Structure 1
């Protein structure tokens, strides 16, 4: 098997029924050929990795033009008001767009199509494959990781879904939703199995370098993420937002699920102690350098063959005159969240801060945000009104401005050395799971389960690596607030914020009846003024029932046993 074959290599495989003439076709894969060769089995598995691309760079490929879920929150604002480039803006400001006919966020059909392929693979693997038991377990672990990941997304979106884990179940029309508790436990069982039988590193596996495959650390990380979500539902939902009989988790289970999250995260921490993972000192390089210790599971790309267009979508327009798309830009709320270098809170009411708002900020600010006066690709960015190619455009004055409407651009993920992305696209990796997130999961679970000193120490481990002072919080409420802040800053634009606010049951408070803002910067001689302006033309809307997105009505019609989530 060639090196790096897993870098999003998709194999198209066909199952064919037997016939009276016992010939092996040469123009397609048959079951006999697939299961007779480890090479074909691995190609079959590799095709499943394409599923991860639907979520790369914190975006959902099935919403408009790869719209980012962070733009549903206070982190980012998409610049366009038209469907496609601006679908996320429509969803953020109009709760009526979420219906059973058109759920707004709809992954159900695509998810179950892939789940069926995985279940077919598992059936063939366990009935036809001519391999050793250890090889069979490793292949099953890999497939179940992907299946768990798909079901994890269904859990994020719908809470309760139909559990289908055999090919026989796919042919039945009797698959109703399971309870939300059972759903999260099922997801956890897939990741737990994967963590038991996947290797710590594929570099030590004989037969080649399988860079890019999921590992034990990736499975444990997803297991920790899964249990944290389940614990959050138990802790914060309490049947306050939906009367469906199958949604919600008993509050009594929160402590157990936090403990499960801690155990899984501790497993990753042990791998870090063995040298597999670590926090990186240079925050910016995490997102442009593939081979770094912080990356636990990432999607790699190959120049000219497997690429993406993140740079084209998010660079300041001066990088590619007339061609940059400028999908989304950071809000003022996101920019103001970053601390000062000494760990104090940034405050526009502080005259020193207000006079030079982009000086002496924490290191992550400079790695995440492009601001007025920042040096970028050999030029000084001018994001003032009338500031030329990279200048500010007031929201609502044009349908598709392709310029900042907040005074900022997103720096994170952009490759500062890529000047040919218009022609050759981009190849920097997408890090689905990194060690910093695992520590944040561990810290949150420790704090909310009452292990305050442990949770504080875990959080401070991350802050020290980011060149920030330790938190001074001591109470459970203070430390939880510190965790929420840290996740907002550390994981900005990585696709977590919307789902965090949902699992904490804060979305209806933070994303409803509010408009987010930008900074209109005006130069007067050597002085600059910063006016807070709305980047939203309408109030945001998030109502209670949106915590459980409806199942597409077409799926209810197809499977009459499947019951819609209450309220839709």
Structure 2
């Protein structure tokens, strides 16, 4: 469906269904008789109403400067005062002292659930006598979107308020939370409906169809099987063990083994139903080819086989009510390079990688990177996992053409995140540092920037760096990793290794040799670096119950100091570039005083905002709040 139709859908549904992304779901206004007639008796308007359900996805992880990786060990948000510390310092509370990401937000998602309920009700009744194939597709999409939104809430809150019919005024004040099991069962029932209704729907990377529903089922069941939702494991956390309503945050009956078997079957079904991108290598891809393989996945966007479902800029547009940018591109993915790029390119360094993330990238031969290894410490950015070079911008790494006003500081288009002393004593503060000459307030605090999701083909500096990079919500590789995890948890190491090798070979890494706990650790590391900035690490950190390991430590930067070698020719400061033949480099991982990171166990589950509980006292708060 082209962009202009989505804009049309947005205008129609915004006006007729009285839905705004800031509405509270408890302030529901029923459809007027005019709305019923206008929307559900006309094929185009009915389809527009269903298309509008996709608006609540925003652009997922590419929506804003802050990514959910900034709530974990893997990244940090550069600019204080926006609520990221609610997560990283454990400050979040029901008053709302935390960043509420739109695509996971209780008050911002429920209006879309309400509209899904309206669509399901009206299409099921089908009083207009629409063609059955049309009704099936629209119903299937509505069920899928309701399942997706409840999944977003389940991952944050556990069991939530389950609304399956349009509310009327008399029913709004008494809607208690469903149990975790009830919430999951509703999601799975909606997915099953979607799979049936969309069995013959056309394949699409923008709209739900059979494969999309299968992929979501894999994600849901992987979460459900995880330790955070298994009471025998989660009871090690004091706030969870003492909670008076464990049924709201965990699966209190049945076997975790059975849940892992279900997750394994769901993931394998998707893997068998379609194919991934370049997973047929029998040996590691060459380094440059592997870098390109990883970069292709987001640069090719919805044209790449790995991309199952997301928001595609060209096809589904961003000039709509959840993206009010006047030029159609100046929100979300259109601004990712600007959001996260280096200040030396006049960009904002919004979310930047930590040294903790960079250290997760092993050496190219598969051995772990280790700062205590003198060879690694002397030359840390050589011979690393190829995904490192496609994900991270680092000191001396190549990047785009500098803008005209910055060329005098860097003629070679290389990142400068260190401090360089020339033979005459002149000290150069790298142009991409917080002490540099260009917009120092936008410099990285860690010495790194994200390259992933930034299009190297578009010029730097606003407004010229608007880009058209699609926002992936679910990738084939995520389901592959889900299958590996389920295989490990059902004692099927051989299957886990076989699929891990497919992924590693595509990425230029050697075959797996680990087993037992070492294999589990390797799998987790693969998942961490493969799904950087894809809304994965935050939820993996929680469901693996790794909160303390992730956040109970300070952020580290890389401090880089270089000194020109004696006897080398004098150079002008504007002619500096990284050159180990000319300079001696010292790299020191260093704690920084920024965000007093400390893990608090209540962060495993989000607080329900007090304003929601005030409106409906039947809603029970999550543990630790």
TM-score when scaled to structure 2? Answer: 0.79
For residues 602 and 55 of structure 2, the distance between their equivalents in structure 1, rounded to whole angstroms, comes to 32
Question: Per the alignment, do residues 211 and 250 of structure 1 end up closer, same or farther by CA in structure 2, a change over 3 Å counting?
Answer: closer
Aligned mate of 2:344, from 318, 327, 335: 318
For residues 200 and 468 of structure 1, the distance between their equivalents in structure 2, rounded to whole angstroms, comes to 39
For residues 15 and 408 of structure 1, the distance between their equivalents in structure 2, rounded to whole angstroms, comes to 47
Whether the 8 Å CA contact 2:87–2:98 is kept in 1: the answer is: no
Correspondence 1:250 to 2:227: no
Aligned mate of 2:548, from 508, 514, 517: 508
Whether the 8 Å CA contact 1:12–1:47 is kept in 2: the answer is: no
Partner in structure 1 of residue 418 of structure 2 = 384
**1:131-161 per-position Cα deviation (integer Å, ceiling 9, x unaligned):** 2333222211111221112111211111121
* Superposed displacement of residue 191, structure 1: 2.2
Partner in structure 2 of residue 333 of structure 1 = 356
Q: Counterpart of 2:10 in 1: which secondary structure? A: coil
For residues 200 and 537 of structure 1, the distance between their equivalents in structure 2, rounded to whole angstroms, comes to 53
Structure 1: any 5+ residue segments left out of the alignment? 18-27, 204-209
Partner in structure 2 of residue 136 of structure 1 = 135
Q: Counterpart of 2:255 in 1: which secondary structure? A: helix
Whether the 8 Å CA contact 1:556–1:562 is kept in 2: the answer is: yes
For residues 461 and 199 of structure 2, the distance between their equivalents in structure 1, rounded to whole angstroms, comes to 36
Partner in structure 1 of residue 274 of structure 2 = 272
Question: Per the alignment, do residues 218 and 16 of structure 1 end up closer, same or farther by CA in structure 2, a change over 3 Å counting?
Answer: closer
Whether the 8 Å CA contact 2:61–2:67 is kept in 1: the answer is: no
Number of equivalent positions: 532
Partner in structure 2 of residue 434 of structure 1 = 475
* Superposed displacement of residue 543, structure 1: 1.4
For residues 108 and 353 of structure 2, the distance between their equivalents in structure 1, rounded to whole angstroms, comes to 30
Question: Per the alignment, do residues 564 and 364 of structure 1 end up closer, same or farther by CA in structure 2, a change over 3 Å counting?
Answer: same
Aligned mate of 1:497, from 501, 524, 537: 537
Whether the 8 Å CA contact 1:7–1:300 is kept in 2: the answer is: no
Whether the 8 Å CA contact 1:6–1:212 is kept in 2: the answer is: no
Aligned mate of 1:520, from 538, 559, 574: 559
Partner in structure 1 of residue 599 of structure 2 = 542
* Superposed displacement of residue 343, structure 1: 1.3
Aligned mate of 1:228, from 215, 222, 230: 222
Which of 41-50 and 100-109 deviates more?
Answer: 100-109
For residues 72 and 40 of structure 2, the distance between their equivalents in structure 1, rounded to whole angstroms, comes to 46
Partner in structure 2 of residue 109 of structure 1 = 107
Q: Counterpart of 1:131 in 2: which secondary structure? A: coil
* Superposed displacement of residue 255, structure 1: 1.8
Aligned mate of 1:347, from 370, 395, 414: 370
For residues 17 and 149 of structure 2, the distance between their equivalents in structure 1, rounded to whole angstroms, comes to 26
Partner in structure 1 of residue 423 of structure 2 = none
Structure 2: any 5+ residue segments left out of the alignment? 19-32, 281-289, 318-326, 402-412, 421-427, 565-582
Whether the 8 Å CA contact 2:434–2:440 is kept in 1: the answer is: no
Aligned mate of 1:529, from 563, 580, 586: 586
**1:16-49 per-position Cα deviation (integer Å, ceiling 9, x unaligned):** 89xxxxxxxxxx9732232233221221111111
Q: Which runs of 4+ in 1 moved over 4 A?
A: 1-9, 14-17, 168-171, 276-281, 386-389
Partner in structure 2 of residue 368 of structure 1 = 391
For residues 391 and 168 of structure 2, the distance between their equivalents in structure 1, rounded to whole angstroms, comes to 46
Whether the 8 Å CA contact 1:103–1:550 is kept in 2: the answer is: no
Q: Counterpart of 1:539 in 2: which secondary structure? A: coil
Partner in structure 2 of residue 55 of structure 1 = 60
State how 1:175-214 maps to structure 2 within 5 Å. 175-199=175-199, 202=202, 212-214=206-208
Partner in structure 2 of residue 293 of structure 1 = 305
Q: Counterpart of 1:152 in 2: which secondary structure? A: helix
For residues 9 and 384 of structure 1, the distance between their equivalents in structure 2, rounded to whole angstroms, comes to 50
Aligned mate of 2:38, from 16, 33, 39: 33
* Superposed displacement of residue 538, structure 1: 4.4
* Superposed displacement of residue 421, structure 1: 6.0
Aligned mate of 1:462, from 467, 480, 503: 503
* Superposed displacement of residue 227, structure 1: 0.5
* Superposed displacement of residue 195, structure 1: 2.6
Whether the 8 Å CA contact 2:307–2:472 is kept in 1: the answer is: yes
Correspondence 1:443 to 2:479: no
Q: Counterpart of 1:175 in 2: which secondary structure? A: coil
* Superposed displacement of residue 201, structure 1: 6.7
For residues 109 and 368 of structure 1, the distance between their equivalents in structure 2, rounded to whole angstroms, comes to 33
Question: Per the alignment, do residues 354 and 558 of structure 1 end up closer, same or farther by CA in structure 2, a change over 3 Å counting?
Answer: same
* Superposed displacement of residue 358, structure 1: 0.9
Whether the 8 Å CA contact 1:337–1:489 is kept in 2: the answer is: yes
Partner in structure 2 of residue 20 of structure 1 = none
For residues 354 and 229 of structure 1, the distance between their equivalents in structure 2, rounded to whole angstroms, comes to 37
Aligned mate of 1:405, from 434, 439, 445: 445
